[in-house]
Structure 1
Amino acid sequence: MFLSQIQTETGDRAVVARDGQAAHIVPGVTRVIDLAKAAIAAGRTLAQEVTARGTGPAVDLAAALAEGRVLLPVDHPDPAHLHLTGTGLTHLGSAATRNSMHAKADPEQMTDSMKMFRMGLEGGKPAPGGIGAQPEWFYKGNGHVATAPGQPLLSPGFALDAGEEPEIAGIYLIGEDGTPFRLGFALGNEFSDHVTERGNYLWLAHSKLRPAAYGPELLVGALPDHVEGTSRIRRDGTVIWEKPFVSGEANMSHTLGNLEHHHFKYDLFRAPGDVHVHFFGTATLSFADGITPQPGDVFEIAVEAFGLPLCNPLVQQPAQAGALAVKPL
């Protein structure tokens, strides 16, 4: 089952469920988090809650996407209570690109990136119930930079690069007792500045403070062990770069459970009512192939198992003249 959120033709919000090709409005609810809260209260899964509510009017989801009416699949009415975070060096092919970015003068000396990757290989998949190696972790922002399908990814004026990262994101709601509930998974573009990151690996934190897109649909249920899709960049309607990418635990050095533990072990991230969108990493970047995205380019991330593709155009914000001034009071 897939869930999404749309703006109807009359301007109202609605939750849409899709099972197979047929999509319909879920009666009695306008946000997926409210649907999730009802499911938690009733002791049901999200899919069971959707079934219990019956079937509303049919929806042409592809048409809604083409018309710009598809919203983020999960959001929060107060954007400050939605957190965008992620983990890197989690995929079996992810170390080579990162290592080349952070390579030291002595090729025999292992980079910190390779050390972190090796930690995951050796200890990222603990036995059930166990705690494995700690992954790399980063913060991207809150709901103010969460970008809906079709909407522009804004690269700040000071950015040195504006590159896509095709990923799977886990989406979570924190229950009233502080329990993290996984609502499902969505396609994600964990948009980053790879030139800044390459300058010094300690600038990784800066390079990740960018918008991120996810959606259009939320896959409810388990993530397949093997996820395979395609990442593309279109310029003036022509594909200028295209490459397959993989995800899922079969292609990762960590289990999802281990990544989730090392995020939610912090009390800070278990505040009741908060939403978390956590990106699980990738091994495929156009940056690694020497591609420099330009304003107007469109990033497309497509995975058949995740429904409709995630497409976002790139917009470059103007550079600010001079330093940002802070006014003392």
Structure 2
Amino acid sequence: MTAPFPHVFECVYGDARHVGLGLPESDAPLHLYPLAGGTLAALVAAADGDTQTALARLTECRTPVEVPAGDRDQVRMLPPLLPAHTGDALVSGFMMTHNVKVGADVPDQPNWFVKGLGDVLKVPGEPLSIPADAVAVCEEAEVVLVYLGDETGVPRYVGYTFGNDLTDIGRFKQHPGHLSYAKLCDAGVAPWLHLGAPPRSVTGEVVIERDGAPAWKGSFTTGTDALHYDLPTLMSRLFAYQALHRPDRVHYVYLGADRSSFHAGFRTADGDRVTFDVASHGVRLSHPLAWTRGPGKG
């Protein structure tokens, strides 16, 4: 991609939505553009897939606002294109999509699941909620495709980001028919929307901390080259279903993961912090894990 700012993000600052360009450095000021009642989704949709036009629409006739590095805590990052009404967003994904997880005898379409609506998405720093009766929970470092329903409701691809498809893999292992329950944990998501085709190769490292110290580390590989399935075919089959068609609905589709800490014999616990360093793309996600309390628990 030749665009000078292939990444965009949306945030709330001073009780109003703003947009920013690029991947901000942690110790640098933020340069934001007020949306003045508009949305990043509307601006991106109006560009109709043209990255340069999208970037121009984000900045034209908008006076930039500089947020000093010391005031960054006053900025609340948002999941890419998150609608004001989170019920207008659907978070879903595929399982067993990667070559390292499938054998020769596999279906031509992998299982698909729903994680929830837009409120299950958590940006870095926010805790990921886990059901009280979870059996064994693992992290899953994934590419997340973002689609926006056009005026007829057909989902149109707008870009990608990265996420953590937190999964109760223990429940699934006990009963494969319970995949739908196993996926009902929160989902971590990076706020940066990458304007461009889905990445072919993504590499990075997972670090799980317990009581402030590293308890497990491992690397991951994902991207379209790691998939057993042809991505355009995969997505066209999914979005052929009219039930998924609605104008302005935002779809976040998690593409599946490499091996996780569970496969290495590690078991996560309440209070652990999971960090993904997506080294190939300069992105970092970090979330604490929080088990919810079941009925009758203090």
> Quick check: TM above 0.5?
yes
Q: Which runs of 5+ in 1 are unaligned?
A: 96-113, 121-132, 323-329
Which structure dedicates a bigger proportion of its chain to helix? 1
Q: Which residue of 1 aligns with 2:148?
A: 173
**1:82 and 1:72 mapped to 2: Cα distance?**
11
Is the contact made by 2:141 and 2:257 (CA closer than 8 Å) also made in structure 1? yes
Partner of 1:81: 88
TM-score by length of 1: 0.79
Q: After the TM superposition, which residues 26-37 of structure 1 pair with which residues of structure 2 at under 5 Å, given as runs?
A: 26-28=33-35, 31-37=39-45
Q: Which residue of 5, 14, 24 maps to 2:10?
A: 5
Higher strand proportion, which one?
2
Cα deviations across residues 243-301 of structure 1 (Å, max 9, x unaligned)? 11111222111122122112201011121111100000012211111211112111111
Change (3 A) 1:27 1:6: closer
2:233 paired with 1:258: yes
Stretch deviating more after TM superposition (46-55 or 283-292):
46-55
**CA deviation profile, 1:90-124 (whole Å, cap 9, x unmatched):** 111123xxxxxxxxxxxxxxxxxx5xx6336xxxx
Does 2:53 correspond to 1:48? Answer: yes
Where 1:206 maps in the other structure, the secondary structure is: helix
Task: Choose 1 or 2 for highest CA Rg.
Answer: 1
Query: What CA distance in whole angstroms lies between the structure 2 residues aligned with 1:209 and 1:239?
Result: 26
Pair 287,171 (structure 1): closer, same or farther in 2 beyond 3 Å: same
Give the alignment of 1:195-210 within 5 angstroms: 195-210=170-185
Letter in 2 for 1:93: V
Give the equivalent residue in structure 1 for 2:97.
Answer: 90
> Percentage identity across aligned positions?
27
Whole-Å separation in 2 of the counterparts to 1:45 and 1:149: 29
Counterpart position of 2:3 = none
Structure 2: runs of 5 or more not aligned? 1-5
3-state DSSP class of the match of 1:37?
helix
Summarize the Cα distance change of 1:48–1:137 in structure 2 as closer, same or farther, 3 Å threshold: same
Q: SS of the counterpart of 2:65?
A: coil
Q: What is the CA-CA distance between 1:34 and the residue it aligns to?
A: 2.3
Report the RMSD for the aligned CA atoms in angstroms: 2.5
CA deviations on 1:158-200 (whole Å, 9 max, x unpaired) are: 2222321111110110101233221211111001101101101
Amino acid aligned to 1:227: V
1:16 corresponds to 2:20: yes
The answer to whether the Cα contact below 8 Å between 2:113 and 2:183 also exists between their aligned partners in 1 is yes
